[in-house]
Structure 1
Amino acid sequence: MKLTIIPVALFSIVLLSQGCVSTKKYGALQTSYADLQTKTSDLRKQYQESQRDLSSANSRVKGLEEQLASERSNVTALQAALDKCLTTSGQGNVNISKLVDEINASNKYIQYLVNTKNKSDSLNVVLTNNLTRSLSREELKDVDVQVLKGVVYISLSDNMLYKSGSYEISDQAGQTLDKIAKIIKDYKDYDVLIEGNTDNVPISKANIRNNWDLSALRASSVVQSLQANYGVDPKRLTAGGRGEYNPIASNDSEAGKVKNRRTQIIITPKLDQFMELIDKAPESKP
């Protein structure tokens, strides 16, 4: 997607080439131009978010396609063996019967993989909709929600969550944390990991040794806030810090550093609960 922005200088030249313009009309045009810039920026953000969602979906599809390709290869090999047996005599009937059973089992497993993929994708959509249903459009700018293989990832920007250069929760984060706490309590049997992440800029605080400390302290602040202010059961909560060593963007640019400075709330369902939603897998792969 390409978004074209008319530079201010060119915009002004176009106006002047049309003759004199009243101050009021020129001001209105400037306001309109500023609105267009804002809308263009919003569209870029939406495009980037769509690209991330598409990349995640493509990774899931690729994994399942590899499994499907492997199973189809097995079927081809079994079919070749069956054809070979048809040209032999003696115990061929016994081998043919066994190979037919194996081929049928492989076909059933392929169908299982296809059905599991479809149900898993549907489950991810349902979970994502449930998680974002109470968040406003403004909050969603600082909150990124993804569901990957049944695990829910809620990524919160540091600008929204903490006071500048600190691990203390900011006042503006309260309303968003309240909504996230309700989501966590909706999934009362799920485990919750709060994970702090930083960019690679060294911290220069007397009471904080390095980015490991900062990320762990920030995760701990969120855990304690969820427990003390929003009534989340502390037995379900785990705080962890990953410092600068889990980046999702390059630290060579300021925009990349902003993305890396984040806190993730990872909500993990129990395995048996997830399998109930997508049906039980076969006891063993044929």
Structure 2
Amino acid sequence: MKKLFILMVSVGLVFTSCVSKQKYAELEAKQKETQDLLNTATVKLNACEADKAAANARIASLQERIEDLRKTNTDLIESSKELTILTKQGATNLEKSLESLKEKDLKINRLQDALNKKDSVTLALVTSLKKEVGLNDEDIEINVEKGVVFISLSDKVLFRSGSYNLSTRANEILGKVATVINSKPDFEALVEGHTDNVPYKKGVLLDNWDLSAKRSTAVVRKLMELGANPSQLIAAGRSEFVPLVPNDTAENKSTNRRTKIFILPKIDQFYEMIENELEVLSNEGGGEGTGEGDGDGN
């Protein structure tokens, strides 16, 4: 009977331990999910704050310009009243100037909307990449640099040291990148290879320029093999000349050996629209100075 009692107590302890481990695993998974959400929210918050600051600066600048122009027109009206030479035609011209200012405000707002749309697309792209590629690897970074989304991959992820042959793991990571590229037909992917400052002299390669270029073209070929549209891909080598940190320790050299994949909107289309709007503004502004400009402007 004593042995049976001991056995029952032992079984109870085992079941209690299992339940505790299960609860711990559930809590740990929930904590990780919460942390991922927090990381994503932090990125969105930082992007929104930067967008807000830039937008406020642009709005302040535009408002200052508008106030200056309005003050000039007000001064002209006051001067005309004082000299009693304000004619009906002069008043009409001033009214046209004010109407023109309103039209310019509308066009500036359109440009602002275009910039905001670009910023929104950038934020959505970062979120998409982080969801597709994942955030659980310290050797993979997804971020925004000067308004451009990029993925930075440590050489440990893609290559063996001193080699431009891709690792087995590269298939998994680059497959996810290829999926994102294919989902964004209006974007391009610039693959940029970087090395440390240790001189490279192996085989047919002459130096780190050759090595960085070979690594970027190896990634481009793999992306094509995994289904990415080659017309969206660009290969570039930067050698050792854009280090993130000084090449003074083994750890820093490892940090500098990386491959960056920039996901770029086809910027020529975006700036073509802006240039067209600015050209219209310029043409209309040129006509106001002479009191003419009622024609087509062509």
Normalized against structure 1, the TM-score is what? 0.67
Counterpart mapping for 1:1-286 below 5 A? 54=46, 64-87=55-78, 88=80, 89-91=85-87, 92-112=90-110, 114-139=112-137, 141-147=138-144, 151-227=148-224, 229-252=225-248, 254-271=250-267, 284-285=280-281
Cα contact 1:196–1:240 (8 A) shared by 2: yes
Q: Which residue of 1 aligns with 2:17?
A: none
Q: What amino acid is aligned across from residue 223 of structure 1 in structure 2?
A: V
Aligned CA distance change for structure 1 residues 259 and 79 (closer, same or farther; 3 Å): farther
Aligned CA distance change for structure 1 residues 232 and 159 (closer, same or farther; 3 Å): same
C-alpha distance in 2 between matches for 1:250 and 1:61:
34
Task: Map Cα deviations across residues 53-74 of structure 1 (whole Å, 9 max, x no partner).
Answer: 94x7777666555543432232
Once the two structures are overlaid, the 10-residue window that deviates more, 237-246 or 154-163, is 237-246
Secondary structure at the counterpart of residue 245 of structure 1: coil
Task: Map Cα deviations across residues 10-51 of structure 1 (whole Å, 9 max, x no partner).
Answer: xxxxxxxxxxxxxxxxxxxxxxxxxxxxxxxxx9xx99xx79
C-alpha distance in 2 between matches for 1:187 and 1:231:
13
Deviation at 1:160, TM superposition (A): 0.8
Aligned CA distance change for structure 1 residues 224 and 115 (closer, same or farther; 3 Å): closer
Cα contact 1:120–1:149 (8 A) shared by 2: no
How many residues of Structure 1 are paired with residues of Structure 2 in the alignment?
Answer: 238
Task: Map Cα deviations across residues 225-280 of structure 1 (whole Å, 9 max, x no partner).
Answer: 222x41333343332111122334444555544333211222333348768xx9x9
Flag structure 1 segments of 5+ consecutive residues without an equivalent: 1-42
Secondary structure at the counterpart of residue 205 of structure 2: coil
Q: What amino acid is aligned across from residue 255 of structure 2 in structure 1?
A: K
C-alpha distance in 2 between matches for 1:58 and 1:250:
31
Secondary structure at the counterpart of residue 199 of structure 1: coil
Cα contact 1:82–1:96 (8 A) shared by 2: yes
Task: Map Cα deviations across residues 77-119 of structure 1 (whole Å, 9 max, x no partner).
Answer: 2112111122113344134213312332343345445544443
Q: What amino acid is aligned across from residue 239 of structure 2 in structure 1?
A: G
Aligned CA distance change for structure 1 residues 114 and 169 (closer, same or farther; 3 Å): same
Deviation at 1:165, TM superposition (A): 2.1
Deviation at 1:158, TM superposition (A): 1.0
Q: What amino acid is aligned across from residue 158 of structure 1 in structure 2?
A: D
Cα contact 1:144–1:155 (8 A) shared by 2: yes
Flag structure 2 segments of 5+ consecutive residues without an equivalent: 1-34, 286-298
Aligned CA distance change for structure 1 residues 186 and 206 (closer, same or farther; 3 Å): same
Identical columns (%): 34
Deviation at 1:220, TM superposition (A): 1.3
Q: What amino acid is aligned across from residue 78 of structure 1 in structure 2?
A: L
Normalized against structure 2, the TM-score is what? 0.64
Q: What amino acid is aligned across from residue 144 of structure 1 in structure 2?
A: E
C-alpha distance in 1 between matches for 2:155 and 2:51:
28
